[in-house]
Amino acid sequence: MLDLPAVAAVVALVAAAIGYASTTAMMGNPAAMWLLFALYLVLGGVAVARMWRDGTLLDLFRWRSGDIALGAATALLLVAGAYVGRRALVPPGTSGDALVVRLYAQLGEVPRDRGAYALATALVAATALLEELTWRGLVQQILEERLGHRRGWLAASGLYALAHAPTLVLLAMPGVGWNPLVLLAALGCGVVWGFWVGRLQRLAPSLVSHAIFTWVMVMQLRL
């Protein structure tokens, strides 16, 4: 009976954390990523505890041959989609390009020191894994039980995007308008990752894909 309120709590907590991390006061501050990591560490723990309680932990975490390749291929396709979408929605040199600049200004510069870069990479990857565990291992599982597989993963994808809605306003640029980039990325990626989890009923491909996609977009390919 508490599962649906738990879903609402996840959406509210993540939206609040993302909203705070997107404020100008947190621009370029590594503490923003640490905040998200800490929150997702707790929520990921709740996800694992629920899987253990329901007896689905081993099933959802089982690995099969090709899972890493599938996750990596999916991540690269999502990166390609983000690249094409960025140039279609906000082409370089147009006023909309300021939205991309604002987004990466919020993330801050990629560390140049080797040790700092390794720590940032580990933090980004760990946060992505915990994020996937929360949304596809907890939220989607609850909604699939209530709504069925197809409606469940679609609903989870919508809520995942909704949790990123604060970035619409907080990453907006004067004279350009709201910034939909993070929300659209969350929606598109959420649909793809949710599809794989719903279809395969295991988390491995989406975990790999989420970690690689986030690392590439944050640490490697600055659009």
Q: What are phi and psi of 177, to 5 degrees?
A: 115, -165
Q: What whole-number distance in Å separates Cα of residue 23 and Cα of residue 27? A: 7
Q: What whole-number distance in Å separates Cα of residue 186 and Cα of residue 213? A: 11
Q: What whole-number distance in Å separates Cα of residue 186 and Cα of residue 192? A: 10
pLDDT in tens, the chain (223 residues): 468 889 999 999 999 999 999 999 999 999 999 999 999 999 999 999 999 999 999 899 999 999 999 999 999 999 999 999 888 888 888 888 899 999 999 998 888 888 999 999 999 999 999 999 999 999 999 999 999 988 999 999 999 999 999 999 999 998 888 999 999 999 999 999 999 999 999 999 999 999 999 999 998 877 6
Domain ranges of the chain: 3-220
* This prediction's pTM: 0.94
